[in-house]
Amino acid sequence: MDCRMIKSPGENTLAILNRRKGSGPRESLIKPDAIGLVQGKLIEMVCAADVAEKAVGVTVEDIKGSCPQNMIMLAIYGDTASVEAALNEIKKKENSRVW
Amino acid sequence: MDCRMIKSPGENTLAILNRRKGSGPRESLIKPDAIGLVQGKLIEMVCAADVAEKAVGVTVEDIKGSCPQNMIMLAIYGDTASVEAALNEIKKKENSRVW
Amino acid sequence: MDCRMIKSPGENTLAILNRRKGSGPRESLIKPDAIGLVQGKLIEMVCAADVAEKAVGVTVEDIKGSCPQNMIMLAIYGDTASVEAALNEIKKKENSRVW
Amino acid sequence: MDCRMIKSPGENTLAILNRRKGSGPRESLIKPDAIGLVQGKLIEMVCAADVAEKAVGVTVEDIKGSCPQNMIMLAIYGDTASVEAALNEIKKKENSRVW
Amino acid sequence: MDCRMIKSPGENTLAILNRRKGSGPRESLIKPDAIGLVQGKLIEMVCAADVAEKAVGVTVEDIKGSCPQNMIMLAIYGDTASVEAALNEIKKKENSRVW
Amino acid sequence: MDCRMIKSPGENTLAILNRRKGSGPRESLIKPDAIGLVQGKLIEMVCAADVAEKAVGVTVEDIKGSCPQNMIMLAIYGDTASVEAALNEIKKKENSRVW
């Protein structure tokens, strides 16, 4: 599982993500302070999405690949501290997994 | 084959799974106590689906993933004890397989 | 090439396979005693389909992945003894292949 | 590159191939004595298609597979001797390639 | 992650990229002095897109590839010095990454 | 990166390539003396397309896989000497690449 954070993401980068949202692209988009990105197997992404959803101050979106049924990346939108906390929580949960 | 369990899954996580159901997304969805996730080769998933279907107190859905050969996933909905029992049964059957 | 057999398959498992049939899903489906599953490369599947088709007492279906042009698994429907015989014949032919 | 031959192919096997033809499925299909199958990378398949097309007494069809990079397949229809000769010619050309 | 630069790209090469733009193909296209190409995992591409977007004198486009997991590509249009600077910045950021 | 050349390509082989052209299939097709084929990563194909486009006496087409957004192979049409020269130029440029 690969985790990254983009601080003050540019508009084009937000547009690339917006075009691939599982919930469909949106017309107007508030520009977040930071984006967290998580890429891995589908089963890892679903677990990470649940951890991020329960974190404070972030919004979670699944990002599709080329085909409509695909999900290959999570995008976590929020202020820098909240996104960083959510990514740390995801990595902690992933490492402490029993099976 | 990879097995995981999410306790008290969040609404966004349920929505991510709901959008990828093999039986099509549903309008209203009862929030389960837990979700079991099983990811592996298609042939493993079909066998796991059969084991889970014969388990007590769970509902099984096949989830469409990104790569047709190996990224399909099963979601097993139910109360925590039933989902855990179904996942244990799946792993037991998988390990005791002759061919 | 991976071969498996499910005895007394559940209705949901039959539905998962029915939704992915190469010949299209069917409205009414007689519940078979057993299902044989064969997964492998496309060239192996076509050869296995021919062996199974020439076996006695079984029906063969190719199962698609997410995309309509895909074929990734064979499902062999019939009574337990016939499905087992067909799977054994497939494995025998595969192992005795010259090229 | 993987080469195989099916003698007296069954109707269901012909139907599986017919549904995946690059030139589109056909209504009526003459049952051939044998089918040669060749699976490999797309660049190998195009070269093999050219060799088979120049062989005597066979018809060549490209078969769509599950993964666009490497799962395409060629089907070579004809009498047993002609299909066997075409497959041997394909393997000879492949092995004698300089680059 | 793989980075390359094409100086004075030909019209056909620009057309190949134009047909695969995430923002959709455009009717009229100004011919750039150079194109930078970056190929890697989706998560790497999104980060590289953000770095390139913040660079001076270049335009960034995401290019759809063949495999949703790893074949996406970025195209960076601009004058030769700006494209080279953007590619160097992308490689520098990638190598200095903590996690 | 894999390079090959077909001399005096057959009509069926030309049809297989014609059905997968990125610029769409054409009604009438002049039969070339030779076809050069180049298969590799998307970023390699775009660079090879630019080299081939700047070579003398050849036409370049990108060949798609099963999905409309895919590009997995280049086809270079022309007389035998020109196609051979273009393929040699592509291999020379690829080997002399700094990064």
Question: Is D51 in contact with D86 (CB distance < 8 Å)?
Answer: yes
CB-side exposure of F85: number of CA atoms within 13 Å?
Answer: 12
Q: How far is C10 from chain D (nearest CA, A)?
A: 25
Secondary structure, 3-state, chain C: CEEEEEECCCHHHHHHHHCCECCCCCCCCCCCCEEEEEECCHHHHHHHHHHHHHCCCEEEEEECCCCCCCCCEEEEEECHHHHHHHHHHHHHHHHCCCC
Measure the CA–CA gap between C39 and B45, rounded to whole angstroms. Answer: 12
Taking the CB of residue C29, how many other CB atoms lie within 10 A of it? 14
CA-CA distance, F76 to F70, in Å (whole number)?
Answer: 18
**Residues in A touching B39 (Cβ below 8 Å):** 41-43
- Burial of residue F30 (number of CB atoms within 10 Å: 0-12, 13-18, 19+): exposed
Does C23 contact D15 at a Cβ distance shorter than 8 Å? yes
Structure tokens at A8: 């003050």
| E strand residue ranges, chain D | 2-7, 34-39, 58-63, 73-78
Residues in chain F within 8 Å Cβ distance of C67: 66-67
Please choose, from the candidates C50, A91, A92, the residue with its C-alpha nearest in 3D space to the C-alpha of residue D35: C50
Residue pLDDT tens, chain F, 99 long: 889 999 999 998 998 888 877 676 666 567 899 999 998 888 888 999 999 999 989 999 888 765 444 457 899 999 999 999 999 999 999 888 755
Which chain D residues are closer than 8 Å to C46 by Cβ? 6, 13, 16-17, 37, 73
How far apart are alpha carbons C28 and A23 in whole angstroms? 34
In this structure, of A72-76, D66-70, D85-89, E37-41, the range with the lowest mean pLDDT score is D66-70
pLDDT number for residue B28: 59
Query: Which 8-state DSSP code applies to residue E65?
Result: -
Prediction ipTM score: 0.83
The alpha-helical segments, DSSP class H, found in chain F are 11-18, 42-54, 80-95
Assign B97 to helix, strand or coil: coil
Tell me whether residues E43 and A37 touch, CB distance under 8 A: yes
How far, in Å, CA of F13 to CA of F17, rounded? 6
Q: Please give the torsion angle defined by the CA atoms of residues A94, A96, A98 and B5, in that order, rounded to the nearest 10 degrees.
A: -50
Q: Which residues 33-72 of chain A have a CB within 8 Å of chain F?
A: 66-67
CA E67 from centroid of its chain's CA atoms: 17
Model pLDDT, residue D26: 65
pLDDT at B67 (0 to 100): 47
Eight-class DSSP state of D18: H
Please say whether the beta carbons of B63 and B16 come within 8 A.
Answer: no
Ramachandran class of B82: left when φ > 0, alpha when ψ lies in -120 to 50, beta otherwise: alpha
Closest Cα of chain C to B9: distance in Å? Answer: 23
The percent of residues above 70 in pLDDT, for chain D, comes to 83
Question: Per-residue confidence at D34, pLDDT binned at 50, 70, 90?
Answer: very high
- The predicted pLDDT at position E41 comes to 80
Element (H, E) at E46: helix E42-54
Name the helix (H) or strand (E) containing A93: helix A80-95
- Residue F45 and residue E13 in contact, taking contact as beta carbons nearer than 8 Å: no
* pLDDT value of position A65: 60
Q: How far apart are CA A18 and CA A61, in angstroms?
A: 9
CA distance A20 to A37: 13
Q: Kindly list the residues from chain E whose CB atom is less than 8 angstroms away from the CB atom of residue A13.
A: 46, 49-50, 53
Q: Which residue has the tokens 């063949």?
A: E66
pLDDT at residue B65, as a whole number? 58
pLDDT in tens, E28-68: 567 899 999 998 888 888 999 999 999 989 999 888 755 44
Identify which of A49, A65, A99 has the shortest CB distance to residue B66.
Answer: A65
Contacts of F42 in chain E (CB under 8 A): 39, 63, 65-66, 71, 73
Share of chain E above pLDDT 70, in %: 83
Q: How many helices (H) and strands (E) does chain F have?
A: 3, 4
The tens digit of pLDDT for each residue in C31-69 reads 899 999 998 888 888 999 999 999 989 999 888 765 444
Which pLDDT score, from 0 to 100, does residue F68 have?
A: 42
Closest CA to F18 of E6, D46, E42, A15: D46
F neighbour chains, 3+ CB pairs within 8 Å: A, C, D, E
Q: What is the DSSP letter of D21?
A: B
pLDDT, one tens digit per residue, over C16-36 is: 888 777 676 666 667 899 999
Please compute the mean of the pLDDT values over residues E64-87 and round it to a whole number. 79
Residue F49 Cα to chain centre, angstroms = 7
Chains D and C touch (3+ CB pairs under 8 A): yes
Q: E24: exposed, middle or buried (C-beta count within 10 Å: 0-12, 13-18, 19+)? A: exposed
CA dist B58 and B84 (Å) reads 10
Mean pLDDT within E61-78: 71
Q: Do B46 and C17 touch (CB under 8 A)?
A: yes
For residue E69, the model assigns a pLDDT of 40
Percent residues over pLDDT 90 in chain E: 49
- Predicted confidence at residue C12, as pLDDT, reads 87
Cβ of D27 under 8 Å from any chain C Cβ? no
Q: Please report which confidence band the pLDDT of residue E70 belongs to, taking 50, 70 and 90 as the band edges.
A: very low
Given a contact as 3+ CB pairs under 8 Å, which chains touch B?
A, C, D, E
Spatial distance between the Cα atoms of B52 and B5, rounded to a whole number of angstroms: 14
Query: What pLDDT, on the 0 to 100 scale, is given for residue A89?
Result: 95
Q: Which fold has domain C2-95?
A: Alpha-Beta Plaits (3.30.70)
Regions of chain B short of the pLDDT cut 50: 67-71
Tell me the CA end-to-end span of chain C in Å, nearest whole number.
16
Rg (CA), chain B: 13
* β partners of residue B4: B37
- Quote the pLDDT of residue C99: 54
**8 Å CB contact between D56 and D16:** no
Q: Strand order in D2-7's β-sheet? A: D2-7, D34-39, D73-78, D58-63
Task: Please give the backbone phi and psi of residue B40, each rounded to the nearest 5 degrees, phi first.
Answer: 180, -160
Residues of D within 8 A of C21 (CB-CB) are: none
Interface probe for C, chosen from D1, D14, D17, D19 (most Cβ of C below 10 Å), is D19
Chain C residues inside the 8 Å CB shell of D6: 46-47, 50
